[in-house]
Structure 1
Amino acid sequence: MPAPEAQRGSRLLDREPTAFLGAVVRGVGQVDLQSRMLTGALLLAGLWVAGWRIGLFATLGTAVSTATARVLGMDRDDTAAGLLGYSGCLTGIALVTSLGAHPGTYLLAVGGSVLATVLTASLTTLLEPYGLTALTAPFCLISGVMVLGAPSFDRIWHGDPNPVAAPTSGDTAVAWSDLWHGFFSGVSQVFFVETWYVGLIMLAGLAFAGVRVLLGAALGSAAGILTAWALGAPSGLIANGIYGYNAVLVGIALGAVFLDATVGNALYALLGAAAATGLTASLTSLFKPFGGHTFTWPFILTTWALMAAVPRIPRLQRATP
């Protein structure tokens, strides 16, 4: 998901002896729309803190997607900036959390990460005339299809070891611990991790990407919590970040990447964060009957819809490259 700084014309893959490793680290950072090496490194560190399976599959997926881009001769600047690796990162994590770390999962992660790179190119071509980017749609499409079909294959399906929580009825009384846990977990749930201290590590990584990025993530998480509470969401789902991660991504995308730094744009980003929170519940209810997963679809659909409207709203300004 390209950020303006990622469009610099440097030939990183030609100049750096550790270029491939750098591209992989940046690919992890691009899940949060950031290409800074330190940001990506801290995000990746947080994933390994969350558990070796999460860290391994995130690294594997990003590395395979990045290698695929190089083998296919895709744009070297985009590859170096991590723009062709982030969907592989999320694909690896989604598969291991849904299917477990079995031999078949490794093969699916490799195959899915290869396809993620190709699908990123396809969607980029289709969306470019509309001024939109693929975001995490390649990951959602590939992982969604794989996880949905997995129960049909005995060598792949071993039960759901870590089912994604769905918005359901429950206790709506929110305690202080629910709020601060939810604030940090909303950041880590972008990578499907609900551990609050992993979110803290990741938030520190985003701070190195700039004040606007940090504020976009923080305000997005807060907006998600507030919206979920106002609508009467179960406190447990607020605490584990289920209602926050899509809002975090929208906050970063609209508040720090795709739009200029103006008050109007900031309010627009908060509107998007709130909308993504409500859409999380709607899409989860839509997917639940047939075993589908929400993943980051609320972020994708909200960002596409609001960015498509920008040319028709004179008071909003796209970020200048």
Structure 2
Amino acid sequence: MTPMPLLDFLRALLKGFAQVFFMNNALTGLFFLIAIGVACQASGDWGPFWGSLVGGASATLTALVIDRAKDPLHTGMYGFNGVLLGVALPTFLQGDGLMWGLIVLGAAMTTIIVDALSNVLTKTWDVAVSTGPFVLTTWLLLFSVAAFDGLHFIAPVSDTLAVPQAARWADLDALLALQVTLRNISQVFLLNNAWSGLLILLGVAVASRGGALAAWLGALLALVCATVLGADRQTVQSGLYGFSAVLSAMAVAVVFIEPSPRSALVGGLAVVFTVIIQGALNHWLAPYGVPSLTAAYLIAMWLFTLPKMDLLIHPHQPNRSSSFGRN
């Protein structure tokens, strides 16, 4: 185990928060932590706040104990999946001692899974693992609730799918559209709070104005798409059709593909596709009471970033040129 000064550990922990939005900046992470606190203060439930700290610390400490590479550890790359898991479990499970133990265990597992998936996805196809460990670990823990009497969902699982009341343009005024757009951003951390969304957007802007613009436009386009498609009104207005799309917009337009007008257009297409995937996953998982988390973003991000190495506009060309304008 490589020793790590407390200040360096705290900085790595905050960067773990920041890396949820692809940012390597401790101040950005502090903005995100405050955003979680604002939402918890409004709801009266501080479980997600403490859970994010416990999950991030567990994942980071696990990486430290198993002597992971210094740069990924210090930049928060081993922490952000644990942060998200720490927010998710108190959101969906009853907060007893067993649940907190699962946060520690699950967050530690995300660190192991980061390396496992990296050996397959990153080394083979040059695509990011991203939130894959969070989705996989959290899904396994939530699906296991049906098998163990000691675990319980906060809300009972419905045996039938609710009949949606479709979103309409008439439901939206300028203020509500602004609030929903910000909730699309805050729901990346499973927070239904527009003020939290604003703090998160400001935190992203601290590190990357281009990233903040992509997040905002992705959130707005997701609202437009979900409304045009007639998704469930309450789900749309809670931001649950936009959070994965926000990450897709950032990932494809500015993070994993070299920013350009063409990547911006492809990023917009990724947002539309993400909203559709979100609807499919919501319908599939609803009878089990298990959320889709960021799975829609993962599917879209993997599909839209894989071509940067392997999909050719002109297959007869000898060089492996990118369809996104990047060699």
TM-score by length of 1: 0.90
CA contact (8 A) 1:167 1:237 kept: no
Matched length: 305
Q: Give the C-alpha shift of residue 235 in structure 1.
A: 2.5
Unaligned runs of 5+ residues in structure 2 are 41-45, 313-321
Q: Secondary structure at the match of 1:132?
A: coil
Q: Which residue of 2 aligns with 1:123?
A: 117
Q: Give the C-alpha shift of residue 315 in structure 1.
A: 4.3
Matched to 1:228, the amino acid is: A
RMSD: 2.1
Change (3 A) 1:153 1:41: same
Deviations 1:192-231 (A, max 9, x none): 1111111111111011111110111001101111110111
CA contact (8 A) 2:157 2:288 kept: no
Q: Which residue of 2 aligns with 1:65?
A: 59
Change (3 A) 1:84 1:15: closer
When structure 1 is superposed on structure 2, of 79-88 and 303-312 the one drifting more is 303-312
Distance in 2 of aligned mates of 1:88 and 1:167: 31
Change (3 A) 1:262 1:113: same
CA contact (8 A) 1:32 1:249 kept: yes
Deviations 1:114-153 (A, max 9, x none): 1110011100111121011111111111110111112432
Q: Which residue of 2 aligns with 1:267?
A: 265
Q: Secondary structure at the match of 2:306?
A: helix
Distance in 2 of aligned mates of 1:292 and 1:80: 32
Q: Give the C-alpha shift of residue 317 in structure 1.
A: 3.8
Q: Which residue of 2 aligns with 1:232?
A: 230
Q: Secondary structure at the match of 1:170?
A: coil
TM-score by length of 2: 0.88
1:243 paired residue among 241, 244, 253: 241
Q: Secondary structure at the match of 2:14?
A: helix
Q: Give the C-alpha shift of residue 162 in structure 1.
A: 11
Q: Which residue of 1 aligns with 2:212?
A: 214
CA contact (8 A) 2:182 2:198 kept: yes
Matched to 1:85, the amino acid is: G
Q: Which residue of 2 aligns with 1:276?
A: 274
Q: Give the C-alpha shift of residue 285 in structure 1.
A: 1.0
Q: Which residue of 2 aligns with 1:79?
A: 73
Q: Give the C-alpha shift of residue 168 in structure 1.
A: 5.0
Q: Which residue of 1 aligns with 2:319?
A: none
- Taking the TM superposition and a 5 Å limit, the aligned residue runs for 1:180-191 are 180-191=178-189
CA contact (8 A) 2:164 2:233 kept: no
Q: Which residue of 1 aligns with 2:26?
A: 37
Q: Which residue of 1 aligns with 2:83?
A: 89
Q: Which residue of 1 aligns with 2:38?
A: 49
Change (3 A) 1:204 1:72: same
Distance in 2 of aligned mates of 1:49 and 1:295: 21
Distance in 1 of aligned mates of 2:163 and 2:308: 34
Change (3 A) 1:308 1:167: farther
CA contact (8 A) 2:27 2:203 kept: yes
Distance in 2 of aligned mates of 1:138 and 1:167: 30
Distance in 2 of aligned mates of 1:167 and 1:307: 35
Matched to 2:286, the amino acid is: K
2:152 paired residue among 157, 161, 177: 157
Q: Give the C-alpha shift of residue 290 in structure 1.
A: 3.3
Deviations 1:269-299 (A, max 9, x none): 1110111011100011112233332110000
When structure 1 is superposed on structure 2, of 197-206 and 169-178 the one drifting more is 169-178
Deviations 1:163-213 (A, max 9, x none): 9xx885104233214322210000000011111111111111011111110
CA contact (8 A) 1:97 1:162 kept: no
Unaligned runs of 5+ residues in structure 1 are 1-12
Q: Which residue of 2 aligns with 1:28?
A: 17
Q: Secondary structure at the match of 1:208?
A: helix
Q: Give the C-alpha shift of residue 85 in structure 1.
A: 0.5
Q: Give the C-alpha shift of residue 100 in structure 1.
A: 2.7
Change (3 A) 1:308 1:246: same
